[in-house]
Structure 1
Amino acid sequence: MRRIEVGGAQSYAVEVGAGLLDTLRVPERHVALIHPTDLPAGFVTRVQKALQPAVTIPVPARDDCKTLEVLSGVLSRLAGANIPRDGAVVGLGGGAATDLAGFAAASYLRGVAFYTLPTTLLGMVDAAVGGKTGVNLPEGKNLVGAFWPPRAVWCDTDTLGTLPGAVFREGAAEAFKHGLISDPTLLDRVLSPDFRPGGALLEGTLADAIDVKAGVVTRDLTERGERAFLNFGHTLAHALEAVTHHGVPHGDAVGYGMHYAARLSRALGGADLTGHTRAFLTWQQPAPLPPVSFEDALTFMARDKKADADGVRFVLLRDLAQPYLTRVPEDVLREEFSGWQQDLHDLNLLT
């Protein structure tokens, strides 16, 4: 088992290993468990046995749970169960469900304790660490939320064995991104045949990818500086999710977005890292994209949380592990979007 410390005003630990669902302990006596409806029933039963929650609240699967309507229902269930101020919310499931659970914990009674148990690779590497919680609006992804760090994170690697291969590969996008922006040793490991459920490289690679994010959020919890680098590839990714009404899974969208960001990086004088991002897309085999126009994508990119009064900003790379934040002229965005679409056509990733 690996233990990763996340510092800051409210420090906590991330534990990575097998069998963690059966050894859970929290100090709070009144616990609410939130989980998506598509989660294997055995996971829910194991956590219920370990924590004896006062109420268990199923929510819709994936991004269907990240709405104000679902949040309202969850808050009402917490109130109906009389969860007190010294109670806790536990989020079990993928990144969408834990995002929702964390925001419910941050909102209910102006904030109760939060614990998270991610069961997907994407949830473990990205959503569970860093304290970002929230829901989506029709106008864009994660536009409503709060920073609310968990008290602890438990990543039980046994849960990854239940994932379809495509879902596991989707989650690998965030680990690969951490290789591009910080730890290049992750790149070959993520693409290795041994990076798989039960594989020899799984726990170590996963822990090292989490460690990248833990270090960044320790230094910059509220995204005033360095934390923005974690959004490499996400400006276009969030736009693709919005344009397709979440028809493209988040990790797949990040894979696409990283390749676009690599093209932009090269266009603005950075190293040519498009070979890495093409190799990842070839390995990931994301869901093929439907037709998306530059104008439609730009509409949502302009609402990205990195945007300010002066326009859209992108995280780009001067070289491996050398990220920076900059504005990109619209003519460059348009030209590289066309080249990006041609690359996807060549990889048979356009419908």
Structure 2
Amino acid sequence: MEKILITASKTYEVLTGEGLLPRAGRLIRPVLSEKAQKLCIVTDDTVDRLYSGVLSDSLTDAGYETVKFVFPPGEASKSLDTLSELLEFLADHQLTRSDALIALGGGIVGDLTGFAAASYLRGIDFVQVPTTLLAAVDSSVGGKTGINLKAGKNLAGAFWQPSLVLFDIDTMKTLSYDLLLDGAAEAIKAGAIADRELFSYIDRVDRLDAPETIRYLSSRAIEIKRQVVEADERDTGVRQLLNFGHTVGHAIEKCSDFSISHGHAVAMGMVICARAALALGWSQEDCLSPLLASLEKFSFPLACPYSAEELCNAALKDKKRMGDTITLVIPAALGDCRLKKIPISQLNEFIKAGLS
């Protein structure tokens, strides 16, 4: 079992390894209040059928009473309505300030659960148990929680760090290849901003779904995110580098009504940003070629079906906009991204250069 220590407003560990879910109760108990008696498992219908039983049995064996809140999978559930239902559920089941929530699932489950934990009784503990590679390498670490509004993605939320992240690699066995790709995109993003060696590693691997590949990619991505979060927990400076590909990626998601998943949209967004930066002379070296090689190695679909105008209109509703400017993440060199603030009037031109 690998341990990565995150030191932020709350210090906690990310535990990665096989066979962790059946041991969850024993691993969780030391990080929660001694007074904790009741734990609420929050999950979606798909993950519920796969893993809720194992987790619930483990928590019961560790002496906890458990309740379970289950909602339909998909971005439509990452909403004020679902958050309200969850908060009412917690109140109806009389969870107290010493109790905790367990987020069992992907990024939607983790973001929603974390926001509920930050809000309920003005803040209670929660544990992240990611069951997708995307959640393991990205959303489960760092304390960003939130929900979508009609105007855009993640427009309401809070910074609320978990008490523990428990990543059981065995849960990757039930993922489709497309879902593995979502996580791989975020790992490649981490390499693009801070670790050019990751691209050499990808060039040498044969299979994305091999446990050793998943272990390596997740470990490197989590370590990079640790460094960034510890330097800038509240996302006012260097942490914004983690948004490489995301401004355009979120726009692609929104234009597709979320039929294009987050990781696939981010992969397209990284390519568009790298191509635009190269064309506009903002990069010191060609970052597009190695990025394309890594994404194509794993057979990412990279053709963006939307125009610059469509993407620009969606991106201008992104939370990274500040007044009449928006901050882009630009690859200066492979493994070295920089923040560049531009007027919103130039965004359409930038995206056009990336689509050329």
Instruction: Using structure 2 for the length normalisation, give the TM-score.
Output: 0.90
User: For residues 44-103 of structure 1, what are the alpha-carbon distances to aligned partners after superposition, in whole Å with 9 as ceiling and x for unaligned?
Assistant: 111001113531011121312211111111111111111111110100001111111111
Counterpart residue number, 2:10? 10
1:262-341 to structure 2, matched below 5 A, reads 262-266=274-278, 267-270=280-283, 271-286=285-300, 291-328=305-342, 333-341=347-355
Q: Which amino acid aligns with 1:8?
A: A
Structural mapping, 1:72-151, within 5 Å: 72-151=84-163
Q: How does 1:156-235 map to 2 (within 5 A)?
A: 156-190=168-202, 192-194=204-206, 196-235=208-247
Name the aligned partner's letter for residue 145 of structure 1: G
Distance 2:80 2:301 in 1: 27
User: What is the distance in 1 between the residues matched to 2:196 and 2:134?
Assistant: 19
Say if 2:45 is the partner of 1:32. no
What is the Cα deviation at residue 330 of structure 1? 6.3
Shift of 1:175: 0.2
Alignment of 1:57-76 (within 5 A): 57-76=69-88
CA RMSD between the two structures: 1.9
Deviates more, 1:297-306 or 1:13-22: 297-306
User: Does 2:261 correspond to 1:239?
Assistant: no
Please report how far the alpha carbon of residue 191 of structure 1 lies from its aligned counterpart in structure 2 after TM superposition.
Answer: 5.3
- Contact 1:175 1:190 (8 Å CA) reproduced: no
Identical residues among aligned pairs (%): 35
Alpha-carbon separation, structure 1, partners of 2:232 and 2:68: 33
Aligned to 2:58: 50
The alpha-carbon distance between structure 1 residues 333 and 3, as it changes in their structure 2 partners (threshold 3 A), is same
Letter in 2 for 1:242: K
Corresponding residue of 1:347: none
C-alpha separation in 2, matches of 1:310 and 1:288: 30
Q: Residue type matched to 2:282 in 1?
A: G
- Partner Cα separation in structure 2 for residue 41 and residue 58 of structure 1: 10
Tell me the alpha carbon deviations over residues 284-336 of structure 1, each in whole angstroms, 9 at most, x when there is no partner.
Answer: 44457674232221122122222212312201121122221113466864455
Distance in 2 separating the partners of 1:192 and 1:43 = 33
- 1-structure distance, mates of 2:109, 2:219: 21
Deviation sequence 1:228-277 (CA, Å, 0-9, x none): 00000000001111111111100000000001111232123312211123
| C-alpha distance in 2 between matches for 1:39 and 1:145 | 23
* TM superposition shift of 1:192: 4.7
Write the distance in 1 (CA, Å) between the matches of 2:83 and 2:345: 40
SS in 2 for 1:116: strand
Distance 1:276 1:303 in 2: 31
Distance 1:330 1:134, change over 3 A: closer
Aligned partners of 1:66 and 1:42: how far apart in 2? 21
Alpha-carbon distance in structure 1 between the residues aligned to 2:343 and 2:294: 27
User: Using a 3 Å threshold, how does the CA distance of structure 1 residues 313 and 234 change in structure 2: closer, same or farther?
Assistant: same
Uncovered stretches (5+) of structure 2, i.e. residues with no partner: none
Amino acid at match of 2:274: A
Cα deviations by residue, 1:126-174 (Å, 9 ceiling, x for unpaired): 0000000000011110000000000000010000011111111121000
Letter in 2 for 1:65: S
How many residues in Structure 1 have an aligned counterpart in Structure 2?
Answer: 342
**Pair 1:339–1:310, CA change in 2 (3 A):** closer
Tell me the secondary structure at the aligned position of residue 322 of structure 2.
Answer: coil
> Aligned letter for 1:132?
K
2:169 touches 2:211 (CA, 8 Å); kept in 1?
Answer: no
Q: What TM-score, normalized by structure 1, do the two folds share?
A: 0.92
- Once residues 158 and 191 of structure 1 are traced to their aligned partners in structure 2, the CA distance between those partners, rounded to angstroms, is 24
What is the DSSP-based 3-state SS (H/G/I as helix, E as strand, rest coil) of the residue aligned with 1:39?
Answer: helix
2:38 and 2:99 in contact (8 A); partners too: yes
Question: In 2 relative to 1, CA 42–247 (structure 1 residues): closer, same or farther, beyond 3 Å?
Answer: closer
